[in-house]
Amino acid sequence: MSELLVENHGQVRILTMNRPDKRNALNLVLTETLLEGLRAADADERVAGIVLTGAGPAFCAGADLSEFKDLTPANAPLVERRAELTMQLHGIFSRLSKPVVSAINGAAMGGGAGLALAGDVAVMAATAKLGYPEVKHGIVAAIVMANLVRNVGRKAAFELVATGEPIDAARALALGLINRVVAPDRLLPEALELAEKFAGVERAAMAATKALFYRVLDLPFDQALDAGRDVNKRMRAFGKR
């Protein structure tokens, strides 16, 4: 059974993490496969939008804890590889030229919460929960913290990572972590509708919009204006294909 299901709906590619018996926990294979799947979708000219979701009742339970027994100081190369892959996965979303909609169908915990927030927009089932329980396991919500603190205020972010307590969809919406809360049976249709709207935008304009959005996110105001000016001058070259 494939760790990642790939399905095309017109110009939208749905990537479904497919370890339902493990609540789609991110083992090494799924992490590598998902990273490859995102890169392939971005490179495919037939694809203009991406939806990421999970098979079964969970979105993603985070890192597969069963692999932790091998991630020891005595196995430094594997520790290094795993950390590098995790960093690449959570970092790739903002570098993709095509928009990603996270369709959070169930529990999104730890690394799974990080994936949910890494999408450009997020739709969450009313029954789903999101949280960062790492501290309860004596570890740190480390790599996922970069996206979290860029999506929510400092006080809320600290409470999430320091208590490890999950929040429901209504609270996630109130905090601005997600865009919409929908009934579970409406999750995929709503996510597809959003992705199809993005796919209908002229490709060069969408790619430039996304690139500029993430570029100005951390720039000082004057530098952000400079970056916007440069893109403004280039817009006239986009044209209609």
We report the CATH number of the domain holding residue 174 as: 3.90.226.10
Both 139 and 115 in one domain: the answer is yes
The pTM for the full model equals 0.93
Tell me: do 112 and 193 sit in the same domain: yes
Boundaries of domain holding 233: 201-237
Query: Do 31 and 141 reside in the same domain of the chain?
Result: yes
**Listed ranges 62-76, 117-131, 226-240; the one with the highest mean pLDDT:** 117-131
Query: Confidence class of residue 200 from pLDDT cuts 50, 70 and 90?
Result: very high
Question: pLDDT tens for residues 208-221?
Answer: 999 999 999 989 99
Same domain, 161 and 209: no
Question: Tens digit of pLDDT for each residue in 72-104?
Answer: 676 677 667 888 899 999 999 999 999 999 999
Confidence of residue 140 (pLDDT cuts 50, 70, 90): very high
Q: Give the DSSP letter of residue 199.
A: H
Same domain, 117 and 174: yes
Rounded to whole angstroms, the Cα distance separating 110 from 131 reads: 6
Quote the pLDDT of residue 72.
65
pLDDT average, residue stretch 150-171: 96
200-209 long-range contacts (CB < 8 A, ≥24 apart) are: 200/48, 201/48, 202/238, 202/240, 202/241, 203/48, 203/241, 204/238, 204/239, 204/241, 205/235, 205/238, 206/48, 206/97, 206/98, 206/99, 207/97, 207/98, 208/234, 208/235, 208/238
Average pLDDT for 165-173? 98
Residue 183 sits in the same domain as residue 65: yes
Q: How many domains does the chain have?
A: 2
- Residues 59, 37 share a domain: yes
Given a contact cutoff of 8 angstroms between Cβ atoms, the answer to whether 132 and 117 are in contact is no
186 and 207 co-located in one domain: no
Residue 241, pLDDT score: 46
pLDDT digits (tens, 9 = 90+) for 2-51: 999 999 999 999 999 999 999 999 999 999 999 999 999 999 999 999 99
Catalytic residue among 80, 134, 165, 196: 134
Whether 158 and 228 share a structural domain: no
Residues 90 and 142 in one domain: yes
Tell me which range, 65-74, 131-140, 229-238, is most confidently predicted by mean pLDDT.
Answer: 131-140
Q: Is 45 labeled as catalytic in the residue annotation? A: no
Helix 221-234 vs helix 203-216: crossing angle, to nearest 10:
170
pLDDT grade, residue 235 (50/70/90)? confident
Structure tokens at 155: 């006080």
**Same domain flag for 21 and 119:** yes
Report which DSSP code applies to 126.
Answer: T
Q: What percent of the chain lies above the pLDDT cut of 70?
A: 93
